[in-house]
Amino acid sequence: MIDNDKRAQSDIVDAILDVKHDLGKYIRMPIAMLPDDATDSALKEALLQALQRTRTGPKGPRSARSIWEGFAAEVGTALGKEPAFGAAAEAVERALAWEARAAGTAPIERRSVEADFAAVGARIQELLNEVSSA
In the chain, how many domains are there?
Answer: 1
Residue 31 belongs to what H/E stretch? helix 29-32
Has residue 110 been placed in a domain?
yes
- CATH number, residue 117: 1.20.120
* Range of the structural domain that residue 126 is part of: 6-132
Has residue 1 been placed in a domain?
no
Has residue 33 been placed in a domain?
yes
Residue 62 has pLDDT above 90, yes or no: yes
Has residue 68 been placed in a domain?
yes
Dihedral sign for Cα atoms in the order 72, 75, 79, 83: negative
Residue 62, helix vs strand vs coil: strand
Q: Record the pTM.
A: 0.91
Average pLDDT of the chain is: 92
Per-residue confidence (pLDDT) for residue 94, from 0 to 100: 97
Question: pLDDT of 69-110, one tens digit each?
Answer: 999 999 988 888 889 999 999 999 999 999 999 988 999 999
DSSP label of 107 = P
Strand partners, 56: 61
Has residue 67 been placed in a domain?
yes
In percent, the amount of the chain with pLDDT more than 70 equals 94
Has residue 91 been placed in a domain?
yes
Has residue 13 been placed in a domain?
yes
